[in-house]
Amino acid sequence: SVLERRPPTVLTPHAGEFERLTGVPATHVEAMRLAAATGSVVVLKGNPTFVAGRDLTVARSGGPELASIGTGDVLAGTIGAFLARGIDTEEAAWSAAVVHGVAGAALSVSSAERDFIHRLVARLHLDAEEALQVEGWIKVPPPPDDVDRTSVPHEHRQVFLDTVREMMQAALADPAPSR
């Protein structure tokens, strides 16, 4: 259990994970309480990201592009790298959160990706409401916990796979660099 481990320990939940873990709303105050109760540093991911330990610091970098599967793993790895260099746990967590947020800004949807999504949406024959929902997701991706993958129709997944295959074949046929 987290109470029996050897420090340093850094917990990196987003709001949904925090609430499932603790049973209380994900706030900076509750993150401070969890940090004090466990002797750990709590990085409550969000916008902003709160880093709770002996003190509370805030990382205001980053945005909705970081609310996708795998980005938390990158944050955890960055924290681990800073800890391995001997950086204080709270400083490592806050520094990693800032670096992660700045790097995440480069993850925003590019015009080529936006064009791909528009072509894909056209091929799915979505109704106006569904198309608006997809447009909203392009601007602000939903948190991974809010997406029910089982609700995506099989034919939509197949259209996506076919479109990606076509794009890969086109890219292989044109050896010119894309940059």
175 has a pLDDT exceeding 60: no
* Phi, psi (rounded to 5 degrees) for 48: -85, 170
- Determine the Cα–Cα distance for residues 121 and 115; give it in Å rounded to an integer: 10
Interacting residues of 32 by C-beta distance below 8 A, sequence separation 6+: 42, 52, 56
177 has a pLDDT exceeding 50: no
- Tell me the whole-structure pTM to 2 decimals: 0.61
Closest CA to 41 of 67, 74, 12: 12
**Model pLDDT for residues 138-169, shown as the tens digit of each residue:** 676 666 666 666 766 777 667 766 766 676 66
Are residues 43 and 79 in contact, defined by beta-carbon separation less than 8 angstroms? yes
pLDDT at 70: 78
Among 70-79, 98-107, 147-156, the range with the most confident prediction by mean pLDDT is: 70-79
